[in-house]
Amino acid sequence: MSQVVRTPRVFSGIQPSGGLTLGNYLGAMKRFVDMQDEGIETIYCMVDLHAITVWQDPDKLRHATRELCAGYIASGLDPEKSILFNQSQVAEHTQMAWIFNCVARMGWMQRMTQFKDKAGKNAQNASLGLFGYPALMAADILVYHTTRVPVGEDQKQHLELTRDIAAKFNHDYGVDFFPITEPVIEGAATRVMSLRDGSKKMSKSDPSDMSRINLTDDADTIAKKIRKAKTDPEPLPSEVEGLAERPEARNLINIYAALNEQSVEQVMADVGGRAFSEFKPMLAELAVAKMSPISGEMARLMQDTAEIDRILTSGAARARTIAAPILKQTYEIVGMVGA
Ligand code: TYM
């Protein structure tokens, strides 16, 4: 088979499995918007099929999928410029995932730390879908011949697996068909940490709501959570090296830098030597200014869920026009009759 011409293409996804956090926003959504505005083709998915690898109440799943779409748009994604859709409306994802289930090796999947974390001690009771999840994620990416995937740090291992699957498929069938995708994990906030414990990732599943900023939090709540964020007694250092043993300080500085679109070095030059009692109000003001318009706009968009559904359905139709021919070619390569 002749070499495929690679169109630069961005794909990423977020699970509609509950609330969105500042971690999702800075690690993913804000960067999705930056890439959209670079003029590359951008495809952003609400990965509902991933969400059901752990139990989801159906009504809550529907709500979370629409709310995620509202969050995407409120953050600056434009459904005309980017393709926005929910995964289950494009069957090519799961069809491709089956092929990849047959390419990926058990040993590769067993090394996935996210499975180990999510399955916990009772792995025998985890769903088969949770175990196979990274093959579906590889399918999400490769069914569009995606070249770049913006994600937070925690998805790095899954993206390495995606590259392994692409390379093994190409090797086994003697083709140069799937691109070896570039993970894009960059910026000051690729790993936003809990506001209560700088060694833990900020997560929607943390039992303490004070550990995270939710995209739906109002201005007062955002300011209160920052005021109460865990810190240490020292003033802020002026050099990045001074943050090495200070996870909470580092996290707040990273958040500030990402929200203010500055480098960590620039922020440190401005705030070095200040006490947290001075820095926290600066951060709270910035976070409120950047985040509360998003929650307001999300609430407004959620008043018209029919419009959201229309956006998702029309995005799915556009996504299918890219995915269907790539799946068809894959079937031909694999030897499916009638493809
Ligand atoms: P999910 O839904 O857990 O998270 C969505 C995105 O948000 C990023 N993120 C964070 N970034 C920085 N700090 C944090 N505390 C933080 N928490 C979450 C994640 O890194 C991610 O980029 N498997 C994926 C969803 C997925 C996907 C894909 C992503 C399915 N198919 C294809 C890219 C391409 C996941 O569970 O993300």
Is 200 in the active site?
no
| pLDDT surpasses 60 at 1 | no
- For the residues 149-172, what does the mean pLDDT come to? 98
> Which of 65, 155, 255 has the most ligand 1 atoms within 8 A of CB, as the residue to mutate?
155
Q: What is the pLDDT of residue 106?
A: 96
CATH topology agreement for domains 9-190+304-334 and 209-300: no
Which residue has the least CA distance to atom 5 on ligand 1?
A: 14
CA of 316 to the centre of ligand 1 (A): 20
CA of 166 to the centre of ligand 1 (A): 20
Paired tokens of 112: 């996935």
User: For residue range 283-321, what is the model confidence (pLDDT) as tens digits?
Assistant: 999 999 999 999 999 999 999 999 999 999 999 999 999
- For the residues 274-288, what does the mean pLDDT come to? 96
User: For residue range 45-92, what is the model confidence (pLDDT) as tens digits?
Assistant: 999 999 999 999 999 999 999 999 999 999 999 999 999 999 999 999
Q: What is the pLDDT of residue 39?
A: 83
Q: What is the pLDDT of residue 3?
A: 52
Task: Give residues (CB < 6 A) around ligand 1.
Answer: 11-15, 23-24, 27-28, 47, 50, 137, 140-141, 149, 151-152, 154-155, 158, 189-192, 201-202
CA of 173 to the centre of ligand 1 (A): 31
CB contact set of 252 (below 8 Å; sequence gap of 6+): 226, 229, 231, 276, 279, 280, 283
**What stretch of H or E contains 260?**
helix 247-260
| pLDDT surpasses 80 at 265 | yes
Length of the chain (residues): 339
Q: What is the pLDDT of residue 310?
A: 98
Catalytic residue among 156, 168, 204, 224: 204
- In the structure, how many helices (H) and strands (E) does the chain have? 14, 5
Task: Give this prediction's pTM.
Answer: 0.96
Q: Which CATH architecture has domain 9-190+304-334?
A: 3-Layer(aba) Sandwich (3.40)
pLDDT band (50, 70, 90) for residue 339: confident
Which residue has the least CA distance to atom 1 on ligand 1?
A: 14
| pLDDT surpasses 70 at 257 | yes
User: For residue range 167-193, what is the model confidence (pLDDT) as tens digits?
Assistant: 999 999 999 999 999 999 999 999 999
Residue type, 234: E
Is 81 in the active site?
no
Mean pLDDT for the chain overall: 95
**What stretch of H or E contains 85?**
strand 83-86
CA of 158 to the centre of ligand 1 (A): 10
Tell me the torsion sign for CA atoms 169, 174, 178, 184.
Answer: positive
Q: What is the pLDDT of residue 4?
A: 56
Which residue has the least CA distance to atom 33 on ligand 1?
A: 12
The percent of residues above 70 in pLDDT, for the chain, comes to 99
> Which class is 209-300 in CATH?
mainly alpha
Give the integer Cα–Cα distance in Å for 200 and 297: 29
> Which of 10, 11, 14 has the most ligand 1 atoms within 8 A of CB, as the residue to mutate?
14
Biggest CA-to-CA distance, the chain: 69
Give the integer Cα–Cα distance in Å for 248 and 298: 29
| pLDDT surpasses 90 at 7 | no
Paired tokens of 12: 């990423």
**All structural domains of the chain with their residue ranges:** 9-190+304-334, 209-300
